[in-house]
Amino acid sequence: MPEFHIHRNHDKFSIDLLAALQKIGKPRHVQRLESVMTPDTTNDFFFYINKGIFKTVRPINDREFILGFTFPGDVDGDPASLLGASRTDFSIVAVADAEITVCRWQDLEQEMKKEKYLATVNFFLARYVTVLQNRLIDSLAITAEDRYKQLVNTHVKHLNEIPVSDMAGYLGITKQSLSRIRNGRF
């Protein structure tokens, strides 16, 4: 499921945001397993994924829980950072080598007119709430098999890049159960 997906050339908002990112964003190569954000840090930026896949991981009681994945065309970051100097409680880690465009919120604010910047912030915060709601509903209402099928429908060409252990962890099942789902034997 896309997170903060920016649809290229489909709407004025996306076109304007991508234009601003191209102008003020900084390209960055991220190696496999490198963290872009880590727990207990304050982050003043977001990033656009040009190539690669990222996982969001939350540590709880010495265990790591995979909250979701982001794919090329998605924007990722810590929207709570917009609300103040809060520290993040999760990591965003590259699943494979990746190319991203990093943009500081302050730079975006300086680039855009105030009204457009506030609309962008509103978009990010509203989309974040929607993603959290969808994840909660999905985890309560649909099976791991159906959640996997959703990913197949939306990101089939990228699924082989996600390690089996990460996919199984995200779905809350064993690697063996994931194998049965992939082979249609569930």
> Domain limits at 73?
4-141
- For residues 30 and 52, the answer to whether their CB atoms sit within 8 Å is yes
| Residue 164 maps to a domain | no
- For residues 178 and 148, the answer to whether their CB atoms sit within 8 Å is yes
Contacts of 152 (CB under 8 A, 6+ apart): 159
| Residue 32 maps to a domain | yes
| Residue 71 maps to a domain | yes
| Residue 172 maps to a domain | no
Token output for 72: 């090329």
Where residue 57 sits, what CATH number does that domain have?
2.60.120.10
Residue 2: the pLDDT is: 38
| Residue 122 maps to a domain | yes
Residue 144: the pLDDT is: 94
| Residue 104 maps to a domain | yes
Chain segment 57-78, per-residue pLDDT in tens: 999 998 999 999 999 989 999 8
Number of compact structural domains in the chain:
1
